[in-house]
Structure 1
């Protein structure tokens, strides 16, 4: 059974919120030193990328409205397949700079879909 596009957006929203909770109170150094936190953040980024990849198959037009969609999916692939070369600073920077915009775009799409 195919999932509704809203479910993928909701997954992205929930994973984004979790990342923001996980990194609260950290800076780049303490983030890189806390294996539990950086592992959890990386996992949530994997979920975001996978949900966006699935959304792009279920509703390409809707997914295309998410800024940097292809970059987000590519980042998920790096996390999964290039795990040995992941730099915690890069993950931290993405969480700080790109995640809030993604979160806002997804929230707007969910509001729009809800009517």
Structure 2
């Protein structure tokens, strides 16, 4: 199977990160408490974001120093995947409302054409 371009993983992070952010903004914490479906959608979106980050990092290890809390993102992926029962509503809320916007902004900056153009020119 051919390897995906690292930029595709980064696009997935932004896409699913935006979807998760929309879910938490629409109705706030009370809406999240009241809807198992919304909670599951947020968890799934965060799983995709953290898996895409993991895959992008495997292809481009330099990404780690360009993204705030890279190790925490990987640890959260592990928690969601293997210890889902240890996640709480408040942890998901905090990550979706505080950490995810920062990650999405940093990834979006990496996706700007000049960011990749400068890197490719120096390689």
Please identify the structure whose Cα radius of gyration is greater. Answer: 2
Alignment gaps of 5+ in structure 2: 119-123
Q: 2:60 is matched with which residue?
A: 59
Matches within 5 A, 1:7-46: 7-46=8-47
Moved more, 55-64 or 21-30: 21-30
TM-score, normalization: structure 1?
Answer: 0.92
- Report how many aligned residue pairs link the two structures: 115
Contact kept? 1:56, 1:64, Cα under 8 Å: no
Displacement of 1:56 in angstroms is: 1.1
**Deviation for aligned residue 1:10:** 0.3
**Mapping for residues 1-115 of structure 1, pairs under 5 Å:** 1-111=2-112, 112-113=115-116
3-state SS, counterpart of residue 3 of structure 1: coil
Alignment CA distance shift 1:54-1:90 (3 Å): same
> Cα offset for 1:62?
2.6
